């Protein structure tokens, strides 16, 4: 894997952790009632997707456990189809999918660290 790929993977991890931090202790009702929270989470998903989009084809091939197409696809939907964003999908992505993404990214980055 290319060295720059680790920078993008680390950025994905940082943004996913920020999203989880913002969501900590929040309910679906909190999400629905806070435009600021929704916009912040959408922005973080956009950044995660853009960082994923920058990972080389070799980096993607080396980490097939990451759902690359789904991550980048979410970024494209947030940026290009912002009027059609399904808030249920955003909520589920942040509440259910990001914890697993964080776990995988931590493992990948830990494996890349020199011993």
List pLDDT tens digits, range 38-93.
Answer: 999 999 999 999 999 999 999 999 999 999 999 999 998 888 877 788 999 999 99
Mean pLDDT over 97-113 rounds to 93
Residue 113 has pLDDT above 80, yes or no: no
Catalytic residue among 60, 76, 80, 107: 80
28 noted as active-site residue: no
Q: Which of 11, 38, 75, 76 is catalytic?
A: 75
For the cut 70, the answer to whether the pLDDT of residue 13 exceeds it is: yes
Q: Is the pLDDT of residue 2 over 90?
A: no
Q: How many CA atoms lie within 13 A of 16 on its CB side?
A: 25
- Tell me if residue 107 is catalytic: no
Calculate the CA dihedral of residues 107, 108, 114, 115 and round it to 10 degrees: 30
């Amino acid at each position: 894997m290319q060295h720059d790929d680790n920078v993008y993977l680390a950025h994905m991890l940082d943004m996913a952790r920020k999203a989880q931090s913002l969501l900590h202790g929040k309910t679906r009702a909190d999400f629905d009632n806070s435009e600021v929270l929704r916009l912040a989470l959408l922005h973080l998903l956009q950044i995660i997707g853009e960082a994923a989009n920058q990972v080389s084809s070799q980096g993607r091939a080396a980490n097939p456990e990451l759902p690359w197409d789904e991550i980048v696809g979410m970024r494209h939907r947030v940026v290009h189809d912002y009027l059609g964003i399904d808030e249920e999908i955003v909520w589920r992505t942040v509440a259910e999918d990001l914890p697993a993404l964080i776990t995988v990214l931590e493992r990948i980055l830990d494996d890349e660290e020199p011993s």
